[in-house]
């Protein structure tokens, strides 16, 4: 089940729940004659899907999504909105969060405190090359490009809207951004590689780091440690979100 995307498992869960609901309605019809209120059926559907989510191997928080998804869908239908609104909302979400379903990495941004820590990592260096793997809106790339120690600052990003914003931002403030998948990006030419992704890609990313990054270079992961690998240093930044930087010196 581990190889099946969570979204597929969630849909399967809703499908099984629907089959169970149909059976329950059929049995219940011997006790109380139909019709039954839609809102009640929708809550039972959500409840059943939530109960099944554990059996399907979905993480605990998916239970809440499974519970509220049919209810939210029902309420949205009650609003009787033109379908173009839902389609537009879906397209907009996809343009921003294209990497959330496949890569399991949504968009959230590095804060100014963390950028200062990245700056500290460049001290004493010259013509350093920096790479942000999944650069979001390009803020880190533009920030690093302006440091005198940094010779080249690059970001790669595949979500369409963040890529567009980071392209504009780097054109205006410095640095370069490539519409390129991080898995197809060679790490060998960079001194400092930064990632702020999610727990999901870390084991695979570490294999890439060890295969491609050259001796003396540094890999930094914001918040997500590489499982089973001791970092060279851990910086606790003491900001409001208690950021931890896991630093791996090659
Ligand atoms: C948590 S955000 C971090 C953004 C930025 N690095 C920052 O720290 O502010 C992760 C970004 O990685 C991007 N991303 C995820 N998987 C990617 C992939 N395979 N190739 C390129 N970008 C990816 C996402 O679209 C998202 O913008």
The pLDDT tens digits along the chain (250 residues) read 667 888 899 999 999 999 999 999 999 999 999 899 999 999 999 999 999 999 999 988 899 999 999 999 999 889 988 989 989 999 999 898 887 877 778 889 999 999 999 999 999 888 999 999 999 999 999 999 999 999 999 999 999 999 999 999 999 999 999 999 999 999 999 999 999 999 989 999 999 999 999 999 999 999 999 999 999 999 999 998 899 999 999 8
The answer to whether position 101 is within a domain reads no
Domain match, 236 and 196 both = yes
pLDDT score for 3: 73
The answer to whether position 106 is within a domain reads no
pLDDT score for 117: 97
pLDDT score for 175: 97
Domain match, 55 and 117 both = no
Per the structure, the complete domain to which residue 145 belongs is given by 112-249
**Nearest CA-CA partner of 112 in 91, 143, 155:** 143
Pocket test for ligand 1, best of 100, 136, 167, 246 (most atoms within 8 A of CB): 136
The answer to whether position 91 is within a domain reads no
pLDDT score for 29: 95
Specify the pTM. 0.82
Summarised one tens digit per residue, pLDDT across range 12-51 is 999 999 999 999 999 999 999 989 999 999 999 999 999 9
Q: Residues enclosing ligand 1, CB less than 6 A?
A: 99, 103, 105, 107-110, 132, 134-136, 139-140, 156-159, 162, 181-183, 196-197
CA dihedral of residues 74, 80, 84, 85 (deg, nearest 10): -70
CB 231 within 8 A of CB 247: yes
pLDDT score for 4: 82
Residues whose CB falls within 8 Å of the CB of residue 45, separated by 6 or more in sequence, listed in order: 14, 17, 18, 21, 70
Domain match, 147 and 239 both = yes
**Cα angle, residue 91 at apex, residues 154 and 165 outer, rounded to 5°:** 25
Helix, strand, or coil (residue 126)? coil
Domain match, 116 and 214 both = yes
CATH number at residue 148: 3.40.50.150
Residue 144 φ/ψ, nearest 5 degrees: -70, -35
pLDDT score for 1: 62
Domain boundary among 63, 80, 97: 80
Q: How many domains does the chain have?
A: 2
Any alpha helices (H) in 136-242, and if so which ranges?
Answer: 139-145, 160-173, 202-212
**Nearest CA-CA partner of 103 in 30, 46, 183, 40:** 183
CA dihedral of residues 179, 182, 185, 189 (deg, nearest 10): 110
213 alpha carbon – ligand 1 mean position (Å): 19
């Amino acid at each position: 089940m581990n190889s099946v995307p969570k979204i597929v498992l969630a849909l399967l869960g809703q499908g099984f729940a629907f089959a169970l609901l149909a059976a329950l309605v059929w049995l219940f019809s011997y006790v109380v004659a139909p019709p039954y209120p839609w809102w009640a059926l929708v809550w039972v559907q959500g409840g059943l899907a939530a109960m099944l989510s554990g059996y399907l191997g979905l993480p605990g928080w998916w239970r809440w999504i499974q519970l509220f998804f049919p209810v939210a869908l029902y309420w949205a239908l009650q609003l009787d909105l033109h379908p173009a609104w839902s389609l537009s909302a879906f397209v907009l979400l996809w343009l921003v969060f294209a990497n959330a379903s496949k890569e399991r990495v949504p968009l959230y941004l590095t804060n100014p405190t963390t950028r200062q820590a990245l700056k500290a990592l460049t001290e004493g260096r010259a013509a350093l090359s920096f790479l942000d793997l999944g650069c979001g809106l390009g803020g880190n790339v533009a920030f690093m490009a302006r440091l005198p120690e940094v010779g080249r600052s690059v970001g790669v990003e595949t979500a369409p809207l963040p890529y567009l914003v980071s392209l504009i931002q780097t054109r205006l403030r410095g640095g370069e951004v490539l519409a390129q998948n991080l898995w197809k990006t060679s790490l060998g030419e960079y001194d400092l590689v930064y990632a702020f992704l999610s727990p999901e890609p870390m084991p695979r990313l570490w294999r890439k780091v060890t295969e491609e990054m050259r001796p003396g270079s540094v890999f930094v992961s914001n918040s997500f440690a590489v499982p089973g690998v001791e970092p060279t240093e851990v910086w606790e930044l003491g900001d409001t979100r208690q950021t931890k930087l896991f630093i791996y010196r090659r």
